A and B are shown apart, each in its own frame.
Chain A
Amino acid sequence: MSLDTATVRRIAKLARIRVDDAEVATLQTELNAILGYVEQLNEVNVDGVAPLTGGAQMAMRLREDVRTDGEIAEKILANAPDRVDHFFAVPKVVE
């Protein structure tokens, strides 16, 4: 499979990364090189193989329903690039 420039732009849009025309061309070449490289995986017979979904092979622990966190609004907002009082602020969204 080989990516065309429209796909590169669509992926960039989906990933929320602005790309200019020159970057699209470079990315197209590089991404196609990577996709070409991983093509060899098609050689492997994976019939009946269950995918490995995580790094650890165990069941999940469940924590108790106790409030142990929160009530730290000032710390939560301390790194915010923009804020209004105790809210995070972003450019106005029109729904």
Chain B
Amino acid sequence: MTIAEAGAALATSKISAVELTAAHNDAIAALNPRLNAFITTTPELALSQAKAADARLKAGSAGPLTGIPLAIKDLFCTAGIRTTAGSKILSPFVPPYESTVTQQLLDAGTVFLGKVNLDEFAMGSANITSAYGTVENPWKRNGSDAKLVPGGSSGGSAAAVAARLAMGATGTDTGGSIRQPAAFTGLAGIKPTYGRCSRYGIIAFSSSLDQAGPMARTVEDCAILLQAMAGFDPKDSTSAERALPDFRAATKGGVRGKKIGIPAEYRMDGMSPEILALWEQGIAWLKAEGAEVREISLPHTKYGLPVYYIVAPAEASSNLARYDGVRFGARVDGEDLIDMYERTRAAGFGAEVKRRIMIGTYVLSAGYYDAYYLRAQKIRALILRDFETAFADVDAILTPTAPSAAFGLGEKMDDPVTMYLNDVFTVPASLAGVPAMSVPAGLSAEGLPLGLQVIGKHFDEETVLSVSAALERAAGFSALPTIRAGASA
């Protein structure tokens, strides 16, 4: 059942919010011990929210999300509910405030089932850096029971929604953290334009890149969620003061006459033929739906990833300086203040976070700033210019979401750079701040979901949603993960 369908059923009293929530609480209780998608579950709170939702439904003051049970990435601060960012250093942290995005979802009457797992401070592409354990992808390769990663950093969000433990989830995307796990788990997920969703109350990884967005089983569900999550917030200086379009209506827009760009530079050496074939299929579908497809060039694409691995760690090294054991979070005592800092941070941060703090500290340090950080920001400007040039001619861009399907736990771990290559297709849109969405478009030969990515102009999520919805209709993706609520295990 999709959010759209559940909303209709709730509105017509075919089901109650309490029933819907209880079913999800039960599914979590049954499957979470295996999947480890949730770090914290809040079943009682969810039920009380569901009761309130039922009252609202009865009173006729309900919206399309009233009573819909969601999973919240544990990067969104939730008042009175522990928020860890997947890090040991925040294990005791209970925020006394609510993030703007989750507050807007609460105001819409949604039900929060709990806080879902993620790579520590959202740094990762496989949900293997969390201090609260890895998350298992509910999908399996044909004939294999090997554990696969759900992607990351929003891996808990992806696993929870794919396994039907939640109807939708919030994610955050800094370099692909919504789109890549969505692709790995057969979901739709959109990273809106930078500035579309408030960052207030979302634990920062890289401030100039972080964006919140929804993950759900359909493009329409994402649109419904985005409508509630997005909007201007005076508490975030980078939030855009713009009216919101009707995102759900945009999913019905179709692609007739739309110009779709195919960037030559995304055809990379050694790319899986399967991914290339899927991409060709996507082009064919859009043509069939009446879109005009043309080759475009985004010349600086290959530099996106190295730029990202300078800019994001640089900002992170500064954003994570506040975790010092003084005002909140875990502390390890020391002989003096500096010793206390060093012990606290050594014990509180995991290896990947330390690596990125170190790289970020280095590229900002005296004598290296110009060579690394400043040069990276200049090339970032060129990447933005590439998109602006392309968007003078096309309405949207179609690419694969990730270079491969979900991989096994323990694979691609030889060195950090191999892992970073997961984000090669998603990072450029993040650097340019443009909206991008992943749609499930097919299965790999091994039976794993593959995603296509639609990239749009700044603040043109409507076109992204309409193109994505067209792909979704054409693909007719109906495969289900092996591990899911209601399936006999």
Contact = CB atoms under 8 A, between A and B. Distances in A.
When A and B assemble into the complex, do they touch directly, with CB atoms less than 8 Å apart? yes
Interface of A: 1, 3, 7-8, 11-12, 14-19, 27, 30-31, 33-35, 37-42, 44, 46, 49-58, 60-61, 63, 72, 75-76, 78-82, 88, 90-94
A55 B307 contact: no
A76 B354 CA distance: 27
Interface in B359-382: 359, 361-362, 365, 368, 371-372, 374-382
A38 B415 CA distance: 14
Given A12-B358, A18-B345, A31-B362, A54 B374 contact: no
A30 B306 contact: no
15 contacts: A11-B358, A11-B362, A16-B342, A17-B354, A19-B346, A30-B355, A31-B358, A33-B417, A38-B376, A52-B377, A52-B381, A61-B237, A79-B329, A80-B327, A91-B334
Contact of A61 (B92, B94, B234): B234
Contacts of B194: 55-56
A79 B330 CA distance: 9
Nearest 7 interchain pairs by C-beta: A51-B377, A79-B328, A81-B331, A55-B194, A18-B342, A18-B346, A52-B381
B145 interface: no
B319 interface: no
A80 B328 contact: yes
Given A58-B240, A88-B326, A49 B382 contact: yes
Contacts of B305: 37
Interface of B: 92-94, 96, 194-195, 207-209, 234, 237-238, 240-241, 300, 302-303, 305-307, 309-310, 317, 321, 324-331, 333-343, 345-346, 349, 354-355, 357-359, 361-362, 365, 368, 371-372, 374-382, 384, 415-417, 420, 431, 433
B234 A63 contact: yes
B312 to A, nearest CB: 12
B330 A81 contact: yes
Contacts, number: 167
B377 A90 contact: no
Contact of A15 (B238, B361, B420): B361
B381 A56 contact: no
A71 to B, nearest CB: 13
A79 B358 contact: no
Best-buried of A11, A30, A33, A34 by chain B (most CB within 10 Å): A34
B234 A44 contact: no
Contact of A60 (B237, B337, B359): B237
Best-buried of B303, B338, B362, B417 by chain A (most CB within 10 Å): B362
A12 B339 CA distance: 12
B315 to A, nearest CB: 10
Contact of A16 (B234, B240, B345): B345
A44 B307 CA distance: 11
Nearest to A80: B327
A51 B92 CA distance: 39
Contacts of A88: 326-327
Given A38-B310, A51-B380, 14 more contacts: A11-B358, A11-B365, A12-B358, A17-B354, A30-B355, A41-B310, A49-B378, A52-B377, A56-B195, A78-B94, A79-B92, A79-B96, A90-B337, A93-B337
A60 to B, nearest CB: 6
Contacts of A80: 326-328
A46 to B, nearest CB: 4
